[in-house]
Amino acid sequence: MDQPSGEFDLIARYFTRPARGAVLGVGDDCALLAPGAGMQLAVAADMLVEGRHFFAGTDPQALGHKALAVNLSDLAAMGAQPWAFLLALALPDADASWLAAFSAGMFALADAHGIELVGGDTTRGPRNLCITVLGQLPAGQALRRDAARAGDQLWVSGTPGDARLALGQLRGEWRIAGFDAALRARLERPTPRVALGLALRGVAHAAIDVSDGLLGDLGHLLRASGVGAEVDVDAIPASAPLAAQPSARRRDCQLAGGDDYELLFTAPADARDAVLRAADAAATPVACIGRIDAAPGLRLRDAAGAALHDTYASFDHFRRP
């Protein structure tokens, strides 16, 4: 593969495609976009840093997927319809085969969601992938994290903990039987729950996506809403490989794992059927894992109803020891 001759050739070859919905896409000082009447913009950015969020040598196609997926997950958590995105990229070198695979992974997911790359920035530096996503939603209908109410049921999508289980295997923390491509994909190619977020608009009260560990992200939702929760720890669905782990490891992965990109949301108890219909429409499994109480704090119970201590810290890049 011949190498790009410079920054603009690189952008033209790997990151420029014909504009679709945008008034003006890649190439000018700004992109131009026209949101629909009565719509609000939902905007989020997420950065992946080599050595911090992914190992050097990670499959570039998977990285392209994940860099966009983690951003789409933020739109999903607000109930926003993905619309467009920008890519700010620092690369140690202009390696054609890395760029081709990275952009293929990113555009495959973009095409699956019907969204387009409208701009960005490209510079030399330690490998760093930063995407900004834009979504749209009818004004006032966002699923905010401050909207949980006492009496709501607490729900989660999918099987949280898989990404952490896969990470432990790749880091050599444990060697599990049956580690396979499907489990590895839960870490490297997460599925943003966009359809579920859209289907939950008007049904759920509050939502957040689980990126730093279920209990930590639940804590953000509870504090923002000024409420507490009781969580039935054994009601959290486990994948087959996770269910096969000793219960302490399973709980560590499920409650404090991170990189799940599942949706954690609350809905009134009488919306239970509507939640199940939304999950069905989105072809995304969900499970009720607890309830929201007026009393602040987090109370964990096992299947027998016994109280468990919350020792599950979530991930914080700047936490002091």
Give which of 7, 123, 108, 111 is closest to 61, Cα–Cα: 108
Element (H, E) at 242: helix 240-243
18 binds ligand ADP (CB under 6 A): no
To ligand ADP, the closest distance from the beta carbon of 122 in angstroms equals: 4
Are 65 and 192 in contact by the 8 Å Cβ rule? The answer is: no
Q: Angle CA(79)–CA(215)–CA(305) in degrees, nearest 5?
A: 115
Q: How far apart are CA 169 and CA 183, in angstroms?
A: 10
To Mg ion, the closest distance from the beta carbon of 121 in angstroms equals: 4
Q: How far apart are CA 71 and CA 261, in angstroms?
A: 10
Closer to ligand ADP by Cβ: residue 121 or 316: 121
To ligand ADP, the closest distance from the beta carbon of 95 in angstroms equals: 14
120 binds ligand ADP (CB under 6 A): yes
89 binds ligand ADP (CB under 6 A): yes
> Which position among 70, 117, 183, 267 is part of the footprint of ligand ADP (CB under 6 A)?
117
280 binds Mg ion (CB under 5 A): no
Window 116-155: residues binding Mg ion (CB under 5 A): 121
Residues 6+ apart with CB under 8 A from 19: 25, 26, 116, 118
Give the neighbor-by-neighbor strand order of the sheet with 153-157: 207-210, 262-267, 153-157, 286-293, 228-232, 297-301, 307-308
Q: How far apart are CA 191 and CA 210, in angstroms?
A: 12
Q: Which stretch binds ligand ADP (CB under 6 A): 24-32, 90-98, 241-249, 292-300?
A: 24-32
What token pair was written down for 256?
């404090």
Q: Which stretch binds ligand ADP (CB under 6 A): 26-34, 68-76, 91-99, 292-300?
A: 26-34
Q: How far apart are CA 126 and CA 18, in angstroms?
A: 29
The partner in contact with residue 270, picked from ligand ADP, Mg ion, none with C-beta cut-offs of 5 to 8 angstroms by kind, is: none
Residues 6+ apart with CB under 8 A from 210: 156, 160, 217, 258, 260, 261, 262, 263, 264
To ligand ADP, the closest distance from the beta carbon of 123 in angstroms equals: 8
Closer to Mg ion by Cβ: residue 88 or 104: 88
Q: Which stretch binds ligand ADP (CB under 6 A): 22-30, 47-55, 131-139, 252-260?
A: 22-30
> Which position among 2, 28, 180, 273 is part of the footprint of ligand ADP (CB under 6 A)?
28
Q: Find where tokens 């992914």 sit.
A: 54
> Which position among 2, 29, 180, 273 is part of the footprint of ligand ADP (CB under 6 A)?
29
The partner in contact with residue 119, picked from Mg ion, ligand ADP, none with C-beta cut-offs of 5 to 8 angstroms by kind, is: ligand ADP
Nearest residue by C-beta to Mg ion? 121
15 binds ligand ADP (CB under 6 A): yes
- Amino acid identity of 117? L
Q: What residues line the site for ligand ADP (CB under 6 A)?
A: 11, 15, 26-29, 87, 89, 117, 119-122
Q: What residues line the site for Mg ion (CB under 5 A)?
A: 121
